[in-house]
Amino acid sequence: NGPQLIILSTMASTTTRQGDGTITVTPSNPSLQSATIIICHGLGDSSEGFSDVAEHLASQMPHVKFILPTAPTQKVTMNMGMAMPSWYDIVGLDKRSNEFCKGIEESQQRIEQLLKDEHDNLGVPYDRMVLAGFSQGGALSLYTGMQLPSKLAGIVIMSGYLPHESGFNIANGLHDTPIWHGHGAADP
């Protein structure tokens, strides 16, 4: 009853699903890896929501490893206390409610550890890593990526926002980190 490991291999990449919900899409020849992209899903989703995107991108970028973590399941106040995959609690959508993000520090530490492991264990430079995310995952990517001790290649935020603004301080040397922040026409 230990962690389950499922591996799917294609010509360009190998997809691995771990028991904690993390999916990695690794170049079939690991020696080709020269970059890492971490993609964080939105509220109520899981890493499976972006697995097809990562596999498609891997077919176009055979030197990139994609890591798709799954958020812990926890109660979300805004959703009537329903338990769901969530990087942190969301109390409401107004600016004041956005200050209460129970669990954001733990999720930030988890993403920081994934980046550190890529750097320490595989030698991937931080300036060859990207943090990306959708909605709550995009918010976590921005919150984490701009407070790291080292500058990333970039941050991609899809329909995201800045959570816990009062606890956010851009780290020295990160003010010019490339950021792509997009919203759809129907997004709030």
Tell me: the pLDDT tens digits for 56-73? Answer: 999 999 999 999 999 999
DSSP, collapsed to helix, strand or coil, labels residue 73 as: strand
Successive 10-residue mean pLDDT values, the chain, 188 residues: 57 89 94 96 97 95 97 96 97 78 96 98 98 97 97 97 91 96 81
pLDDT at 94: 76
Torsions phi, psi of 9, nearest 5? -120, 140
pLDDT at 58: 95
Q: What single DSSP character describes residue 41?
A: -
Torsions phi, psi of 130, nearest 5? -125, 140
Q: With CA atoms as reference, report the closest residue to 87 among 24, 163, 182, 150.
A: 163
pLDDT at 93: 79
- Whole-model pTM? 0.92
